[in-house]
Structure 1
Amino acid sequence: MYDAIVIGAGPAGLQAALTLGRMHRSTLLLDSGEYRNGTVLHMHNMVGADGAPPAEFRATARAELSAYDDVEVRDAAATSVSGVEDAFLVGIADGSVVEARRVIIATGVADDLPDVPGLQDLWGTLAFSCPFCDGHEHAGKPIAIVGAAARAEHLIGLLGRIVGDITVFPVGEVFADDDIRMLETKGVRASPAPLSSVEKVDDRVRIRTDDDELVVAGVFVASGSMRQRAPFAAQLEMRMLESGCIEIDDFGRTSVPGIFAAGDLAHRASLPGPMASVLLAAAAGQLAAVGIIQSLLAAEH
C-alpha cells in the first residue's frame, strides 16, 4: 500500500513525485512514455530551462528522483483506477494491480488536429498551437495560421507584434466575406481557398490549396481540440468543466475524495481553460502533492 500513486510522468507528475519523496511518503510514479510535448525538440518559456529538450528535462528529473528511497518509478501505463479513499486500486498494463491511499492523475491531454494531410507530421516541430511557447522563434518571419477566423483572431493578436507576414487559411470551407474583412482589418491576408496539404521543405513549411501554394517559417493551429489522454476521469465520474478538463480546487482535489489531478488535464473553475506550460504543470503537481500530504496528515491525526 503506497501513500500515493502518481499516474503520468510529465512535468506535473515528476514534480508531484519529487515533493512526495522529499516528505518521505511512499510513492509510485507510473510513466507510460506518452507525453503531449513528445514531438517537441525544445521547450520554451521555462525559466532556467528555456530551450532545453523536453526529453532531457524528463531524464534529469528521473535522475533526481532516484535519490529518494521513498519514490519508485515504473515504465508502465496505468489502465484503470477504482476503489475509495485509503483503498484505491490502480490497474497496470502488464495485468498487475497496485494499491494506494491517494492518487494523482497527471496523464495530460492529447491534441486532435484539423484533418489536413501532413499536419500531424509537423506537429511540435513546424506546427504549433502556443504563441508563448513558440512565437518568439518566428520573430520577423512569415507564418500561417490554420483554422476558423474567430479563433485565428486571438492568435493574430498575440503573434502580430512578433512575427512577419501572416496568412490565415480556412480548413474545409472558404471564409465568409465578413471573416475576410475582419482578418484584413487585422493586417493579415486571408486565403480565398481552404488548406489542402502541408509539408516540410528545407526546415520550412510548404502550404498548398487547390490553386496556390505558399512557403512559411511555421504554422500555428487555431482549430482542433484536445481531449483527456487517459480514461480515468470517465471511469471515476469526476466533475468536469466545459473545457473538457477535470475540475480541481487550489490543491488539485477533484470531486472524488482522495483523487487529485495536476497538469493541463485539469484546472480550477475560475479559469477558462488550462495553459500549456511546463512551469505551470510542475507547479500544479507540487500543489497536488502538498494537498495529498495535508490529506494524509488529517487522516493520521
Structure 2
Amino acid sequence: MTASTHTDVAVIGGGPAGLQAALTLGRVHRDAVLFDDGTYRNATVSHMHNVVAHDGTPPADFRADARKQLTAYDTVSVREQRVESVEEADGLFRLYVADGTAVTARALVLATGVRDILPPVPGLDAMWGDLVAHCPFCHGHELSGQRVGILGTTIAPHLSGLLGRIASEIVVLTDGDAVPDGLPVGTIVRTERVVSAERHDGGVRVVLAGADGEPVPAGTTEQVAGLFVKPELSQSAPFAEQLGLELNASGAVRVDEFARSSRERVLCAGDMAHLPTYPMPMASVVAAAASGQLAASAAIMALTAR
C-alpha cells in the first residue's frame, strides 16, 4: 500500500514562485508541503540580476536562504522529491511521489516552470544562461560597451531597441530569413545561415554558411561578447496535461488575475503560466515570486470559502 499524508495546500516547484507560495502559506499557519526536485530553469545561471536586494546573488544562495527562512514556520514542510503524477478525486488532489508515497491536498499550487527549447544551432546549449541568453534585463548590463549579437528576426527589432544603450555595436543574424523592419540605424545584419556557435576569446564566435551551404572562411565569422536568442517554451512537468489545464498559445498555462487556472483550486505561478493578454510569461525572479504570493493567497481564499 502507498503511504499517504494530507495537507491543506501542496506546492510543486522549489524556485522563487514555489518558495514564495510556501512562505505565504506559512505566514497564516496553513499546512503546506513544498516539493522541490532540484530542477530549475536558471540552473545554468551563475548570478541573478534585476532582483531588488539580490542583484548579483547566485540562484543557489537565494534558494538556500529562502529554504532556511521557511524553517521558522511549523506548518510548512519541504520534501526534496519528485512528484510523478497528480490526479483529482472526491474533491482532493492526490500527488504520487517518486519514493512511492502519496500526498493529498485540498488545493494545489503549480510552480514547475518551463523548459527552454533553443534554436537548432550546435553550441548554443553549452553556453545557455551564460554567453547565450534571452533577457537583456537579466544579462544585458554585463555586456556594456561591447559587441552583441541577436539571433533571429522576430525578436531583432525589440531586442535591438533594448540593447541600443548597452552595446557598442549590434549584429543581427537572420539565419537566412528576410531582414526585418524596424532595426535601428547602424545595426549590422548578416543574412547567411548560422552553422554553429562556440566559446571564443571570452565571447561567442558564430560560424556562418556561404552561398553554397559551406562554412564561410574564418575571417568572415562574427565575434560577439554575448548572443541573445528566443527560445520556444514547453512545460517542464506533466501536471498541466494530467489535470487538463487550459493553455495559452505560448504553451504556458492560462490563468486569471488571481493565478487561478481553468480547474478549481489549481493555482499556477512563475514562468509556467500567464494571463491570456500577455504574449509570454514575465520571466523574472521578481515576477515569479510575486505570482507565487498571489497563487498562495488565492489558494487560501478558495479554502476559506469552502
Same fold (TM over 0.5): yes
Name the residue aligned to 2:126: 121
* Alpha-carbon offset, residue 189 of structure 1: 1.1
Matches for 1:59-98 after TM superposition, within 5 Å? 59-84=64-89, 86-98=91-103
Q: In structure 1, how many angstroms separate the alpha carbons of the residues matched to 2:70 and 2:48?
A: 21
Matches for 1:50-61 after TM superposition, within 5 Å? 50-61=55-66
Name the residue aligned to 1:296: 303
* Alpha-carbon offset, residue 79 of structure 1: 1.4
Partner amino acid, structure 2, of 1:50: D
1:188 aligns with 2:187: yes
- Structure 1 consecutive aligned stretches of length 4 or more whose deviation exceeds 3 Å: 182-186
Name the residue aligned to 1:12: 17
SS at match of 1:88: strand
Q: Decide whether aligned partners of structure 1 residues 277 and 185 sit closer, same or farther in structure 2, where only a CA change above 3 A counts.
A: closer
Matches for 1:1-301 after TM superposition, within 5 Å? 1-84=6-89, 86-147=91-152, 149-171=153-175, 174-176=176-178, 179=179, 182=181, 186-209=185-208, 210-211=215-216, 212-222=220-230, 224-299=231-306
Partner amino acid, structure 1, of 2:222: L
| CA displacement 1:94-125 (0-9 Å, x = unmatched) | 22211111110000111000111111000001
* Alpha-carbon offset, residue 202 of structure 1: 4.0
Partner amino acid, structure 2, of 1:193: E
Given that 1:183 and 1:190 are in contact with CA atoms closer than 8 Å, whether structure 2 keeps it comes out as no
TM-score normalised per structure 1: 0.93
Partner amino acid, structure 2, of 1:105: L
* Alpha-carbon offset, residue 290 of structure 1: 0.6
Given that 2:157 and 2:183 are in contact with CA atoms closer than 8 Å, whether structure 1 keeps it comes out as no
- RMSD between aligned alpha carbons? 1.5
Given that 1:183 and 1:189 are in contact with CA atoms closer than 8 Å, whether structure 2 keeps it comes out as no
Q: In structure 2, how many angstroms separate the alpha carbons of the residues matched to 1:84 and 1:125?
A: 44
Identity %: 48
Q: In structure 2, how many angstroms separate the alpha carbons of the residues matched to 1:251 and 1:86?
A: 21
* Alpha-carbon offset, residue 85 of structure 1: 7.2
TM-score normalised per structure 2: 0.91
Which is further off, 82-91 or 111-120?
82-91
Partner amino acid, structure 2, of 1:278: V
Contiguous gaps of at least 5 residues in structure 1: none
Q: In structure 2, how many angstroms separate the alpha carbons of the residues matched to 1:97 and 1:175?
A: 50
